[in-house]
A and B are shown apart, each in its own frame.
Chain A
């Protein structure tokens, strides 16, 4: 069953065509990466699924229904975490369950468990400003997972992190995803990141924003960071780089 479905979708801002005739299907449990240069509309595409923006042409559905507004069935992980700075780590993570009027008895064990998985069990009371960028993004991921969303929408979540931290966050995401198998739409401009994480890499070009190639990544699962140095990985990378160079 498909979770996310785009058919001939376009998005224009005034005269600017940010997205043009995009077709994309993401099946349930699939990890799809949208890869492209900045300004290619990949974040716009994600914002459409999230319900933050409205499309101009075409049709789009999530779980078989058109998207009208944001909601907890689509957990979003933002570029720089976008945590509420006046709330502690714990309060940020349970914000969703709380506003959804879920009982404390139900969300408390879940939030505790997720904070343990992302390695923040000792930071419940910390404020976001007291955390490093990587730790803040761990909270951002925990905040999305605690809602048990049908899909996770990640908008360059590790783009602002240093190389070392980025690797450990990628390893963490692989671990978590491989045990939960949530549908993921992942926006990135980092080729290695896209190949390492995704089942499929959709390569996008800018002006107008379009998906030019849809490449299945057949690297075996479960993956670890070791995949980054395998011969197969290099082959995928060569193919994607050729694609990205070719269309420029």
Chain B
């Protein structure tokens, strides 16, 4: 068992290592693409300074020892916006899946607003909230909301009729049925929505920080590009990937714990 897990981790690491080695070999004197891109060793050095360096009184670089701040700003924004999307999206999706009237009333509007990309919401967000934290959180919430509500609605709509009948027969009220039957039955679809929504949340936070706020990984990404620090740009991109991956992993762990019944049913168990 343990060996199999190690083997799987080894396989997962193989491709990234090959890509990094090729990238390193393709460069000369720490640069490639005619000097536009740094090699991995340079990126790594810049990253270490960004992460653990101590700025002296004379240092001009803004990327010394403050990596964790950028990470924290972005992560908290994602967490807040994503939480807002969940708090609105899951209950609304359950109601839309359950009630034909509610669906007829609200669903068309959702489907019509949904194709508007979060980038198109930027002017409105800045007009209302200015260059503020909440403007970014608002964009993240909008971006993550759609996949969550659409998948939850689908999941709630597909609930087996006999489960509802069984619950009614046992004396369950409407609220009981929504909470104890429709929600758990929709949970596999809800998790699909959460994972897609979280991916969009990370896209949204970077876009928002490039345009609408002055902190976080997205801000550093664009700022570093302007001052020609491509080593920081790449270290920043890898950081986004890392934290996006870790937050997705956390959701997968939660899914794993909550949907044991579903896992036992599936072919690949």
Contact = CB atoms under 8 A, between A and B. Distances in A.
Contacts of B58: none
Contacts of B162: 78, 82
Contacts of A129: 261, 264-265
Interface stretch (B44-52, B108-116, B173-181, B216-224): B173-181
B260 interface: yes
Contacts, number: 71
Interface residues of B, number: 24
A76 B172 CA distance: 14
Contacts of A100: 170-171
Given A84-B181, A85-B265, A99-B176, A127 B260 contact: yes
Given A84-B163, A127-B264, A129-B264, A72 B169 contact: yes
Contacts of B126: none
Counting chain A CB atoms within 10 Å of each CB, the highest count among B165, B169, B176 belongs to B169
B87 interface: no
B163 A71 contact: no
Contacts of B171: 71-72, 96, 99-100, 147
A69 B261 CA distance: 30
B168 interface: yes
B180 A70 contact: no
Contact of A84 (B166, B173, B259, B264): B166
B166 A82 contact: yes
A41 interface: no
Q: Chain B's interface: helix, strand, loop or mixed, by majority?
A: helix
A84 B169 contact: no
B264 A70 contact: no
B165 A70 contact: yes
Interface residues of A, number: 26
A63 to B, nearest CB: 16
Contacts of B163: 82, 84
A85 B261 contact: yes
Contacts of B169: 50, 70-72, 74-76
B184 interface: yes
Interface string A118-136: 0000000001111000000
Contact of A76 (B165, B176, B181, B259): B165
A105 to B, nearest CB: 19
Contacts of A69: 168
B84 interface: no
Given A78-B162, A129-B261, A129-B265, A84 B168 contact: no
B166 A130 contact: no
B265 A99 contact: no
Contact of B170 (A51, A96, A127, A130): A96
Nearest to A153: B169
Given A84-B163, A84-B181, A100-B171, 16 more contacts: A71-B171, A72-B170, A78-B165, A82-B163, A82-B165, A84-B166, A85-B261, A85-B262, A86-B187, A95-B167, A95-B170, A96-B171, A99-B180, A127-B261, A129-B261, A143-B166
17 contacts: A50-B165, A52-B165, A70-B168, A71-B168, A71-B171, A78-B166, A83-B166, A84-B163, A85-B261, A86-B184, A95-B180, A99-B170, A99-B173, A100-B171, A127-B264, A129-B265, A147-B170
